């Protein structure tokens, strides 16, 4: 039976009205917010329409956080190599990734969902490299109870080719034994997935080119054509390292963004992860086309990639989102931590505190901004009539949050998994009283423990290749 539920006596996070929270209630009918009650009279009228009432006294009701850049397979790779820059690090994550079978992918998706739900994350963009396992991943996403924009990779240019890394022929040959997408195959995959998942309530298919420089002209043609014809959102990595940006400027007049614009790829349906090495003048075309940039500060710091010029992007009007990236680069899938990093990092270089991004701005990035990155702008991220009912109840009585009445700055500075009491996605409770209802979390944790040793053993030959190749990547100056 469709939900008809009134969440009463909460304090509502409504970013449009300032830092203070609004006492009130929310009526959920079916998959959406049917009414927001802010006065005693509205509360009484709205409560009377609901079949069920949940008393949220002492709780904050906030929009679910949205993870704008995430790789589900990485949740099984905790504790693996993360003390190298991106390109040599990627040799390792690719080697582990190739050792994953369909069952491991299913577990990785559900393990990530458990971690994200416990952190108040209701939706994610899963940028997914291992396209032979799209079915396993999608089935698990459906079972997870979360909302997902699923973006399977395509790529056919390796990093050592783009960056012109000098490699011994034997190592080069082994690296090039990895599969490359072909344009016809990639197009078939996207058309097939779109055909089968169109109209699903929680799953949407997004084009997932790995990165512009990792796609040949024939793949960028597929990207543009399918985006235009099917109206698909697209998500990709962009200038994550200085070497990528430099090489892009050497290859294409004006650099990577200029070439993407010439090929018709900059649209408001596009979101770009990282953008650390964007030149100041590259923000203008992104803002003009309404392209979203997804900031992943934890991952970028861990890999030593640098940091996005967040304040400059805000100032130029580039739409912004937040993401956690990979477990083996960014660490926990915790957008409260990512919001705090986004808040703090710009302060290092900005003398004028009036220009520092504020808590409401970073919370907007993690909600409406990331929703836009998922291609779901306008549907998600606000407590407002007509929005999808993706909601999180925060218990303000926990030690980390207790104190003065909670405001937006208070929530952003002190929120975390410990305070997440209940999570609703698409009008259905998926976590309540700190227990995941959507799937059997304990069974997932037990299976993960059972398969991890074998997984790491299976990855061993690939890791040996990564160990042999990494020094040549490190020799390159960056």
Angle, CA of 297, 89 and 366, to the nearest 5°: 20
Q: How far is the CB of 264 from Zn ion (least distance, A)?
A: 24
Q: How far is the CB of 367 from Zn ion (least distance, A)?
A: 20
Q: How far is the CB of 134 from Zn ion (least distance, A)?
A: 17
- If the CB atoms of residues 325 and 441 are measured against Zn ion, the closer one turns out to be 325
Strand blocks (E) in 2-58:
4-12, 22-29, 32-37, 52-55
Round to whole Å and give the CA distance between 123 and 245. Answer: 30
| Contact (CB, 8 A) for 47 and 8 | yes
Give the residue at shortest CB distance from Zn ion: 325
Say how many residues touch Zn ion, by CB under 5 A.
1
Q: Which stretch binds Zn ion (CB under 5 A): 79-87, 103-111, 320-328, 467-475?
A: 320-328
Residues 6+ apart with CB under 8 A from 404: 410
Q: How far is the CB of 273 from Zn ion (least distance, A)?
A: 5
Q: How far is the CB of 399 from Zn ion (least distance, A)?
A: 34
- If the CB atoms of residues 154 and 444 are measured against Zn ion, the closer one turns out to be 154
Q: How far is the CB of 161 from Zn ion (least distance, A)?
A: 20
- Phi, psi for 236 (deg, rounded to 5): -155, 165
Residues 40 to 79 in contact with Zn ion, rule: CB under 5 A: none
Q: Give the count of beta carbons closer than 10 Å to the beta carbon of residue 362.
A: 25
Residues 6+ apart with CB under 8 A from 196: none
N- to C-terminal Cα separation, the chain: 57
- If the CB atoms of residues 259 and 325 are measured against Zn ion, the closer one turns out to be 325
Q: How far is the CB of 310 from Zn ion (least distance, A)?
A: 18
| Contact (CB, 8 A) for 194 and 122 | no
Q: How far is the CB of 13 from Zn ion (least distance, A)?
A: 28
- If the CB atoms of residues 274 and 410 are measured against Zn ion, the closer one turns out to be 274
| Contact (CB, 8 A) for 214 and 86 | no
- If the CB atoms of residues 208 and 381 are measured against Zn ion, the closer one turns out to be 208
What is the per-residue binding string for Zn ion in 321-350, x denoting contact by CB under 5 A?
----x-------------------------
- If the CB atoms of residues 325 and 334 are measured against Zn ion, the closer one turns out to be 325
Q: Is 87 in the site for Zn ion (CB under 5 A)?
A: no
Q: How far is the CB of 330 from Zn ion (least distance, A)?
A: 9
Round to whole Å and give the CA distance between 39 and 433. Answer: 28
Round to whole Å and give the CA distance between 266 and 220. Answer: 12
- If the CB atoms of residues 89 and 190 are measured against Zn ion, the closer one turns out to be 89
Centroid of chain to Cα 284: 24
- If the CB atoms of residues 127 and 202 are measured against Zn ion, the closer one turns out to be 127
Residues 136 to 165 in contact with Zn ion, rule: CB under 5 A: none
Q: Which stretch binds Zn ion (CB under 5 A): 162-170, 215-223, 317-325, 346-354?
A: 317-325
Round to whole Å and give the CA distance between 434 and 126. Answer: 24
For 152-181, letters b (16+ CB in 10 Å) and e give bbbbbbbbbebbebebeeebbebbeeeeeb
| Contact (CB, 8 A) for 324 and 286 | no
- If the CB atoms of residues 90 and 421 are measured against Zn ion, the closer one turns out to be 90
Cα-trace Rg, the chain? 22
Binding footprint of Zn ion on the chain (CB under 5 A): 325
């Amino acid at each position: 039976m469709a939900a008809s539920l009134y969440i009463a006596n909460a304090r509502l996070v409504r970013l449009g009205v300032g830092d203070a929270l609004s006492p009130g209630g929310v009526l959920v009918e079916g998959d959406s917010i049917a009414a927001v009650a802010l006065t005693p009279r509205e509360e009484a009228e709205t409560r009377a329409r609901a079949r069920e009432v949940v008393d949220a006294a002492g709780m904050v009701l906030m929009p679910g956080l949205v993870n704008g850049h995430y790789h589900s397979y990485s949740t099984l790779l905790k504790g693996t190599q993360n003390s190298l820059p991106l390109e040599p690090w990627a040799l390792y994550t690719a080697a582990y990734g190739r050792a994953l079978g369909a069952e491991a992918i299913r577990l990785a998706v559900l393990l990530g969902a458990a971690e994200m739900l416990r952190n108040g994350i209701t939706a994610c963009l899963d940028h997914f490299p291992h396209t032979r396992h799209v079915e396993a991943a999608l089935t698990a996403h459906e079972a997870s109870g979360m909302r997902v924009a699923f973006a399977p990779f395509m790529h056919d240019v390796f990093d050592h080719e783009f960056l012109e890394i000098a490699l011994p022929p034997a190592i080069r040959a082994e690296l090039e034994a990895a599969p490359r997408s072909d344009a016809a195959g990639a197009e078939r995959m996207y058309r097939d997935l779109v055909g089968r998942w169109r109209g699903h309530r929680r799953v949407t298919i997004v084009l997932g080119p790995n990165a512009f420089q990792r796609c040949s002209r024939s793949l960028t043609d597929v990207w543009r054509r399918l985006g235009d014809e099917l109206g698909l959102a697209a998500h990709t990595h962009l200038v994550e390292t200085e070497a990528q940006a430099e090489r892009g400027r050497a290859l294409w007049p004006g650099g990577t963004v200029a070439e993407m614009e010439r090929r018709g790829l900059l649209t408001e349906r596009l979101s770009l992860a990282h953008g650390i090495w964007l030149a100041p003048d590259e923000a203008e075309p992104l803002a003009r086309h309404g392209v979203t940039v997804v900031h992943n500060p934890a991952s970028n710091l861990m890999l030593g990639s640098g940091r996005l010029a967040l304040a400059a992007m805000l100032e130029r009007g580039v739409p912004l989102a937040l993401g956690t990236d990979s477990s083996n680069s960014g660490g926990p899938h915790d957008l409260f931590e990512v919001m705090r990093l986004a808040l703090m990092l710009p302060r290092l270089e900005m003398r004028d505190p009036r220009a520092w991004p504020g808590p409401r701005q970073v919370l907007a990035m993690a909600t409406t901004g990331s929703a836009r990155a998922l291609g779901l702008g306008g549907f998600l991220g606000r407590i407002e009539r007509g929005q999808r009912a993706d909601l999180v109840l925060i218990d303000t009585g926990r030690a980390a949050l207790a104190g003065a009445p909670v405001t937006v700055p208070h929530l952003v500075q002190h929120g975390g998994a410990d305070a997440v009491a209940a999570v609703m996605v698409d009008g259905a409770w998926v976590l309540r009283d700190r227990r995941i209802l959507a799937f059997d979390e304990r069974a997932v944790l037990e299976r993960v423990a059972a398969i991890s040793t074998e997984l790491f053993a299976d990855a061993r030959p690939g890791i040996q290749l990564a160990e042999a190749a990494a020094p040549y990547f490190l020799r390159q100056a960056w």
